[in-house]
């Protein structure tokens, strides 16, 4: 049985998945969310490859960044990135399913520190992301009420 905070995190994650137009364009799917945690995935398409036929770094970054955003906003307070970094210890290719898992490492009233691992379906690490957020005073619920795109289902 889900607690109220877990239900809130799930609702926020679903809303963010629906409203993030770039994540939708890339086919990112949110798989799990709970307070301080998120998991999302995508499948690498031919139009996501660079000139040497490996996944363009921006695709890996966007998957990590989206997952980081969901995890950091899952508590219900609007959180925006202050700083991020991504290392590429491996590469992925067309057809690979990439899975990003974001975990909260530290959280205060005003900041949060997160790590995100991006792995291929067979478990190879292809991205190691770290990010810090600033927590604003407004609530995500306010954005959910006032800024949903009615054309998105």
Question: What are the pLDDT digits (tens) for 4-56?
Answer: 899 999 999 999 999 999 999 999 999 999 999 999 999 999 999 999 999 99
What is the pTM assigned to this prediction?
0.93
> Is residue 63 within 8 Å of residue 100, measured between CB atoms?
yes
> Is residue 9 within 8 Å of residue 75, measured between CB atoms?
yes
Where helices occur in the chain by DSSP H, the ranges are 4-19, 21-26, 57-73, 140-146
- 149 to each of 65, 77, 146, how far by Cα in Å? 21, 20, 9
77 vs 1, more confident? 77
Confidence of residue 146 (pLDDT cuts 50, 70, 90): confident
- 96 to each of 3, 22, 117, how far by Cα in Å? 34, 19, 15
Reported as a single tens digit per residue, the pLDDT across 64-92 is 999 999 999 999 999 999 999 999 999 99
Q: Return the bridge partners of 115, or none.
A: 103, 130
> Is residue 12 within 8 Å of residue 74, measured between CB atoms?
yes
Burial class (CB in 10 A: 0-12, 13-18, 19+), 119: buried
Confidence of residue 96 (pLDDT cuts 50, 70, 90): very high
């Amino acid at each position: 049985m889900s607690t109220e905070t877990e239900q809130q995190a799930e609702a926020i994650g679903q809303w963010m998945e629906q409203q993030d137009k770039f994540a939708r364009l890339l086919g990112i799917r949110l798989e799990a969310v709970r307070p301080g945690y998120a998991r999302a995935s995508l499948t690498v398409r031919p139009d996501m490859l660079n000139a040497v036929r490996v996944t363009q770094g921006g695709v890996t970054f966007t998957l990590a960044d989206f997952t980081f955003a969901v995890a950091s906003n899952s508590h219900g307070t609007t959180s925006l990135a202050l700083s991020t970094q991504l290392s590429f210890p491996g590469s992925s290719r067309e057809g690979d399913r990439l899975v990003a898992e974001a975990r909260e490492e530290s959280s205060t009233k005003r900041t949060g520190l997160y790590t995100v691992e991006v792995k291929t379906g067979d478990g190879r690490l292809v991205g190691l992301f770290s990010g810090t957020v600033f927590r604003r005073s407004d609530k995500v619920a306010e954005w959910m009420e006032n800024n949903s795109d009615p054309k998105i289902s």
